[in-house]
């Protein structure tokens, strides 16, 4: 009986086709940008091992892994990650509220773009999905982009099938997730952020307190901001399942004001704690939205250095 190669379970042609489509979407958005999440490092001499690759004529023989040669009778060269390389981990919310409209698909594409971007810079990429608890975890590695894309392709399956008895608590989830980030990392949190701002800030601080560079990216459907509904009907809370009869015409202005205040409070609270905060509208093209965010991030970095 022949042992299956690691990752063989991912070799279904239909799955590979979907992953390739996701990678192509990410590549199309990302490759036009001159600068990225940080200056692109190169593989170099450091203590962090990156990977083996076959020996090529002209390679420095001092980098040949002779122990591996003794086991395999083949020449492999060690490559190391430069000290400027970093871990880049995406925390993606897959709770029921993210299934509204195209938020989850948009969030997955955004996560794929950022992971692809980081991978181009030789960063170690990872992913964690959560919905009241940790549902999927891909540890950061220089070789894990395909695993991250596969997990994103499967993210919809992690959305809870039924409403929860208690709402998802970011504080509890992020406290657990902070234990998975054992070295300083860049962390991108992608969520609709349907919780009280002070609870979100407390949750994010579990990660920030360990010296991580945090980005909080809020993904909303335009209907969640504008509330364009007309007919009176029962509106359902996707997280709790609670139903509420509403006449949109009477509550539209009040609803818009509450949402605008929530977003503004998040921006002030997170920005005041040294966290990059940006909002993504699912009706906006990914390349435009991502370009706007990365430009704002560069300005933010410059202002922090000046300050």
Query: Residue 270 pLDDT more than 60?
Result: yes
pLDDT in tens, 114-141: 998 888 878 899 999 999 888 999 999 9
Q: Where in the chain is the domain with CATH 3.40.50.410?
A: 87-306
Query: Residue 44 pLDDT more than 50?
Result: no
Q: How far apart are CA 152 and CA 10, in angstroms?
A: 13
Contact 142, 170 (CB under 8 A): no
Residue 242's pLDDT is: 87
Residue 279's pLDDT is: 93
Computed over every residue of the chain, the mean pLDDT equals 80
Residues 6+ apart with CB under 8 A from 56: 77
Mean pLDDT of 29-49: 52
Query: Residue 285 pLDDT more than 90?
Result: no
Residue 300's pLDDT is: 60
Lowest mean pLDDT among 70-84, 132-146, 195-209, 275-289: 70-84
SS3 47: coil
Lowest mean pLDDT among 144-153, 163-172, 175-184: 163-172
Residue 3's pLDDT is: 47
* C-alpha 98: how far from chain center: 14
Residue 76's pLDDT is: 85
Q: How far apart are CA 271 and CA 263, in angstroms?
A: 12
For 269-275, which contacts have Cβ atoms below 8 Å and span 24 or more sequence positions?
269/197, 269/198, 269/200, 269/201, 270/200, 270/201, 270/204, 270/216, 273/201, 273/204, 273/205, 273/208, 274/208, 274/214, 274/304, 275/204, 275/208, 275/214, 275/215, 275/216
Mean pLDDT of 4-26: 54
Q: How far apart are CA 10 and CA 23, in angstroms?
A: 15
Of 222, 226, 223, the closest CA to residue 253 belongs to 226
Residue 4's pLDDT is: 44
Note the pTM of the prediction, 2 decimals. Answer: 0.76
Residue 20's pLDDT is: 63
The residue with tokens 């399942």 is: 241
CA dihedral 137, 126, 102, 261 (to 10 degrees): 100
Domain 87-306 architecture? 3-Layer(aba) Sandwich (3.40)
Residue 56's pLDDT is: 65
Mean pLDDT of 97-119: 92
pLDDT band at 211 (very low <50, low <70, confident <90, very high): confident
End-to-end CA distance of the chain: 64
Of 129, 127, 242, 256, the closest CA to residue 191 belongs to 129
Mean pLDDT of 101-117: 92
For the chain, the farthest-separated pair of C-alpha atoms sits apart, in whole angstroms, at: 77
Q: How far apart are CA 231 and CA 45, in angstroms?
A: 64
């Amino acid at each position: 009986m022949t042992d299956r190669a690691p990752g063989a379970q991912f070799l279904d042609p239909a799955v590979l086709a979907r992953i390739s489509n996701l990678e192509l979407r990410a590549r199309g958005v990302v490759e036009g940008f001159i600068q990225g999440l940080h200056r692109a490092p190169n593989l170099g001499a450091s203590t962090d091992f990156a990977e083996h690759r076959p020996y090529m004529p002209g390679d420095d023989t001092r980098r040949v892994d002779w122990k591996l040669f003794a086991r395999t009778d083949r020449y492999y060269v060690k490559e190391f990650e430069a000290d400027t390389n970093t871990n880049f981990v995406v925390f993606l919310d897959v709770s029921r509220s993210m299934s509204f409209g195209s938020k989850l698909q948009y969030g997955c594409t955004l996560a794929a773009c950022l992971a692809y971007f980081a991978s181009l810079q030789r960063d170690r990429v990872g992913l964690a999905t959560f919905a009241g608890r940790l549902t999927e975890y891909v540890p950061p590695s220089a070789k894990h982009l395909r695993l991250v894309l596969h997990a994103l392709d499967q993210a919809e399956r992690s959305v809870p099938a039924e409403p929860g008895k208690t709402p998802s608590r970011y504080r509890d989830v992020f406290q657990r997730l902070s234990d998975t980030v054992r070295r300083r990392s860049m962390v991108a949190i992608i969520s609709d952020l349907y919780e009280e701002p002070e609870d979100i800030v407390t949750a994010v601080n579990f990660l920030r307190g360990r010296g991580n560079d945090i980005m909080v990216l809020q993904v909303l459907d335009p209907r969640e901001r504008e509330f364009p509904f007309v007919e009176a009907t029962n509106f359902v809370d996707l997280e709790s399942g609670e139903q509420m009869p509403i006449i949109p015409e009477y509550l539209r202005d009040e609803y818009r004001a509450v949402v605008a205040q929530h977003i503004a409070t998040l921006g002030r609270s997170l920005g005041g704690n040294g966290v990059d905060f940006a909002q993504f509208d699912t009706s906006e093209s990914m390349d435009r939205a991502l370009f706007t965010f990365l430009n704002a991030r560069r300005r933010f970095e410059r202002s922090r250095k000046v300050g």
